[in-house]
Every structure is written in structure tokens, then in C-alpha cells.
Chain A
Amino acid sequence: MKIFLAFVVTLIWHLQAAAALTIEITEGATGALPIAVVPFGWEGTGNGPGQDIAAIVSSDLSRSGRFKPLPVSDMLAQPHSDAQVEYRDWKVLGMENLVVGRIQPNGSDGYLIRFQLFDVFRGSLLTGYSIPATEGDLRAVAHRIADIVYETLTGSKGAFSTRIAYVASITGADGKKKDTLQVADADGYDPQTIVISSYPLMSPAWSPDGLRLAYVSFDRAKPAIYVQEVFTGKRQQVAAYNGINGAPAWSPDGRQLALTLSKDGNPEIYVLNLHSKGLRRLTDHYAIDTEPSWSPDGRNIVFTSDRGGQPQIYQVSSSGGQAQRMTFEGSYNARASYSPDGTSLVMVTRQGSDYRIGLLELGPRRSQLLSTGKLDESPSFAPNGDMIIYATKSRGKHELAAVSLDGRVRQRLTLPGGGDVREPAWSPYTRYNRSN
């Protein structure tokens, strides 16, 4: 017990800054909406806020592939409120929408950020908000503004205020390769190392409240599943049985973890109640059963099994029972997860000698390939279901990529110097407010 406690203490990490991912749009949607986001006006004295809010909003909108922001240098005017807006200045540039804003001092070290979104062709105000912020909040507020603009104009909720977790390999101070579990904003900014280990780290999975990550760590050459609070670093070992302890997946209510254990002889899916610590076995087959993932309504769990001779996707009720085969096309389908609306499954699928990301629509069955690589894996849906982030290998390096559900927008996410990065997990929407 003493040893266990000491171990926990040494692994409470202060968040460490790490190298940031660079996100590059490799394919944008034709027909992206032209929008102008005017630099926000500063109405106080001194230098004002340390972040360019409008630039962050522009970059978020541009990255989605659904918008084409106007370069600031092409703007004919820079209004900061509705009273200053002349619609013809924007019509002539072909803009459909316009965002303006201003920042005022608020208290001793705070700000009040007001912004407005206009429909240029109708000549009307669509929405406006006033948001208080501290210096440390400014990026988060900018992402919220981008979320509001995105939702107002596309009808789909924005995912700019979310985060991504991923495993990156680094070379430690001792010259040895180490695995790190990192968490960054969805735009790659502000990466924090939350776990560092000389042994493999695997399978990060966000809790539905976005406050905790479950993951597999091979510390002391034995795999175990941990649940760690992202902000405090406090972590708890939840499974360390003989054999495999892998593939943790949160139930939608955050109370249970589905996981893979081979303690009873071969890999089976179990459900662990995080409060009572009760363990329930869900599958019973001599084949490999692994990679569980819950349906959004919590009723079903999909998993990978080679009970038919090759890995395919099966589904079982989360209360147990007969498993049902879900995939029939192709010789290799693995690591499926549901889209947030539950209408489709994303998975790794083999095409000839290539492993790609495939989407299977569950209504009238229809499958499509979303990626074009040779070794694509670990797909993870954005919480709005508009994009999927996944791991790929390009020119011998592990990097990340993202693709829109319609395949029209593609991004490449790389670490500076070509460091290896893999196993991305897109966070859910979070209710917390980050504050420093």
C-alpha cells in the first residue's frame, strides 16, 4: 500500500508546457462562406489585451473549412460597433457576413468584450454578446465567439472550445525515448504534458464531462488503466489485473468504464462501475474481444472481435446478451466508435494493403472511406460530429490528420521537428470555465 501511494504521489504532475501542434489545412471546401472578422477595438488606455481576439476567431473559422475569412489588409474600413458599420463596404468585397467587436477595461485587470455578427446582404444584425474576461481567458472567449458565429451561420454547434488529447514521443533529458500524454486546445495551442513515462502510454479516453482522462500505462512493465483529473493531475489506478488491461471507454453518464481484460484467459469486454468498483463481464468468447465503445444513449457497446476469423465490429447490449455482427464488408474492421448523434460508426478498415478510416452509416447501410493513408488509425469524432481526427503515418513519421464528415476539408497536425504523435482523442463539450 505504501508503495502504491508513493507511486501516485510521484505521478502528480504539474502541468508542463510542451511543443505545440501545427495545424495546416490541406484541403478546403469549395464554397466556403466569405466572412470578415474586423480586428476588435480597444477602448482603454495602455496596450490592452495580449491576444488578438479577431485573429483567433478568424483562424478557428478558417480551420473548419466552412468559412473563408477576409484578410485584414483587404478591408476598406474597420468598424467596432453597429453604428460604424456601412454594409456597402462589405458588399463590394463579396462578404456575406461580418463580425465586429470592442474590448473595454472591466475592473482592475479584467475586460469586457462585446461583439456583433451581421448578415451583410440583408443588412441586419444576427446576434450580439457581451462577455467578461480576464487576461488568461482571452483565447477561451475568442473560441466561444467562433462557436457562436459558427452555430448561428451553419446551424451546427461549434467545437472550437474543445480540446484534444494525444500521445507524443519525446526524447527525455537522459536521451531516452519517452511517451507523453498531452492535452491541447482544439487549435493546437497551449499543449500541456499530463503524464510522462518510459513505458508505453495508450488509449486516452475523455470522461463525458471533459475533466478526466482514462488511459493505459505500462509503468513497471505491466499494463494498468488509470483515471486522471486533467487539471489537478490527481490519478487513480482502476484496473491492474493479470494480463491485458486496455481500451477504456466511458459510459455516456460517466459512471462506468467499459474495458478489455484478459484475466480470465483471453481478452473479453467488461464494465467497471467507477463508484462501487463492481466489475461485470459482458462478452464470453474464446476469440479476441476488445476496443469497446458506447452508443450515445448508453444502451449498446460496439467492440472488435475476430470470432468470425477476422477482426470485425460487433455490438452487444450494455446489459449483456448476444453479440450481433455489425460489419460485413472487408477483411479487417476494428476500433469502431459511434458518431455523437448515434447514426454512424467510424472505424479502421482495411482496403487492399492499406488501413484507412471508414464511416458506416447505420440507417440504410452505406459505407464510405474518409482517409487516404496507408496506416490510418485511432479515429475520434469532434463532439459536434462535423470532423474526425485520426492518426496517420506520413514519410515514416506518426502524425495526426482531421477530415470533415463529407471528406471535403482535410487538416494535417504535426509537431515541430517531426516528433511522433498518435492516438488523438477529441474532448466532449465541457462545462467548466478555465481560469488561471
Chain B
Amino acid sequence: MKICSSRKAAVIIVALTLAGCSTTGGKTGADGAPVKEMGEGGLTAASAATMGGDWRGNPLDNPDSPLSTRTIFFDFDESQIREDFRDVVIAHGQYLAANPTVNVTVEGHADERGSREYNIALGERRANTVRNLMLAQGAASNQIKTISYGEERPLAIGSDEHSLSQNRRAELLY
């Protein structure tokens, strides 16, 4: 149940991000953006991954593509990419490999539990596992920058498990 709600939120965040900025812009509006409920019509990461669609613009702008998911969530004190996000990261890696002029920044984040500098290190490790899986798809190392904000830039304010799970994440910023 938790996983499902995370997925839905990921898509919602991406939707807000896409609405808020162009694909070439630096910052997304994801940080601190209010998360609105989309209702049953919202796409899940899994359904997006299986839908090809007939999109003619920039593939990053295709809401039916796994590329539209730009936030990858993690389990507590874990930096392994969860099964439900593997396809998303692989799709981004393949996209970068096919578009060598495109660059991305992977921001690693942690929830508020534990010490702050350890969380910086944990956030970096999450960003690096995302980066490494993208490199394995043929992306070049100079296309992917990483930075960790640890617990300093939470997406959700709150200490309940749902908020914490929203904050353990890597964000892809094109």
C-alpha cells in the first residue's frame, strides 16, 4: 500500500514539475511544491512504463513515458534501487545514451532520522546508484552530475512514515 501511494505521488510530483518548467531549465518546481491529490485518473509509474504512446515532442515531456517519472524513492537506510523504479532509471539511462548532448543532475536526499552528515553521505550513495545504473545503459559519465542534500531539503514536512518515505529519494533534474 505504501509503495502504491509513493508511486502515485512520484507521478504527481513529476506532473507538477512538467507543468512548472521547460525541459531545458535548471531547477524544477518539485522542491516544496504542494502535493495535490490527483484522484483515480492518475497514472502509476508501472503503467507509464508499459505505455508507448504516440508522442511527437521531446520524449521527456511525454506523460506516458517512464521518463516522466523523475523522482525515485528508497527504503530506509537503503540505497538499492527498488524493483518498482528500475525500469524508470533504465529508461533515463537509455535516453541519455541516445541523446549525448543532454545532461542531468541527480539530487540525493534522505529522511530526517539520524545524523545530518551521515544523511548527506546516504543521499550521495542514492544519487550514485541511480547514476551507475544509468551509466550501465550507455550514458556517458560527463552527462550525469550528482549532489546530495541529505535531510536538508525535505519534500514532505512531517515525521510520519509517509512523509519520511517521500523524503528518501533521488530527483532527476534535466
Contact = CB atoms under 8 A, between A and B. Distances in A.
A243 B158 CA distance: 28
B115 A288 contact: no
B8 interface: no
B125 interface: yes
Interface string A218-258: 10011100000000000000000001101100000000000
Interface in B96-122: 112-118, 120-122
Interface string B136-174: 000000000011111011000111000000000000000
Given A202-B152, A243-B146, A244-B124, A350 B114 contact: yes
B165 to A, nearest CB: 14
A236 B67 CA distance: 41
B153 A247 contact: no
Interface in A414-436: 423
Contact of A267 (B115, B124, B146): B124
Given A223-B120, A311-B114, A378-B116, 5 more contacts: A244-B148, A260-B117, A288-B122, A348-B115, A377-B116
A-B pairs, top 9 by smallest CB distance, nearest first, are A200-B152, A335-B115, A334-B115, A288-B121, A247-B117, A267-B121, A290-B121, A348-B115, A291-B117
Given A202-B152, A375-B159, A396-B159, A246 B115 contact: no
A200, A222, A378 — most chain B CB neighbours (10 Å)? A200
Contacts of A200: 149, 152-153
A290 to B, nearest CB: 5
Contacts of B148: 244
Nearest to B148: A244
A334 B114 contact: yes
A59 interface: no
B25 to A, nearest CB: 14
Interface string A325-336: 000000010110
A288 B118 CA distance: 8
Contacts of B128: 266
A377 B115 contact: yes
A267 B119 CA distance: 12
A423 B116 contact: yes
Interface of B: 77, 112-118, 120-122, 124-125, 128, 146-150, 152-153, 157-159
Given A244-B124, A374-B159, A218 B152 contact: yes
Contacts of B114: 311, 332, 334, 348, 350, 355, 377
Nearest to A422: B116
A262 interface: yes
Given A218-B152, A222-B147, A393-B159, A203 B124 contact: no
B40 to A, nearest CB: 31
Given A375-B112, A393-B159, A243 B117 contact: no
A396 B112 CA distance: 12
A304 B113 CA distance: 15
A265 B79 CA distance: 15
Nearest to B173: A221
Contacts of A288: 118, 121-122, 125
Contact of B118 (A221, A243, A334): A334
A212 to B, nearest CB: 20
A355 B151 CA distance: 15
B117 A202 contact: yes
Nearest to A353: B113
B115 A221 contact: no
12 contacts: A202-B150, A203-B116, A222-B147, A260-B117, A262-B124, A290-B117, A304-B117, A311-B115, A334-B118, A355-B113, A375-B159, A377-B114
A195 B124 CA distance: 25
A197 to B, nearest CB: 11
Contacts of B113: 355, 375
Contacts of B118: 288, 290-291, 304, 311, 334-335
A332 B122 CA distance: 14
Name, among B114, B147, B158, the residue most crowded by chain A CB atoms within 10 Å (CB to CB).
B114
A182 B127 CA distance: 31
A40 B77 CA distance: 57
Given A244-B121, A396-B158, A218 B149 contact: yes
Interface in A193-223: 200, 202-203, 218, 221-223
A332 B114 CA distance: 8
Nearest to B158: A396
A214 B150 CA distance: 19
Given A222-B147, A244-B121, A288-B125, A202 B116 contact: yes
A299 to B, nearest CB: 23
A354 to B, nearest CB: 9
Interface in A346-402: 348, 350, 355, 374-375, 377-378, 393, 396
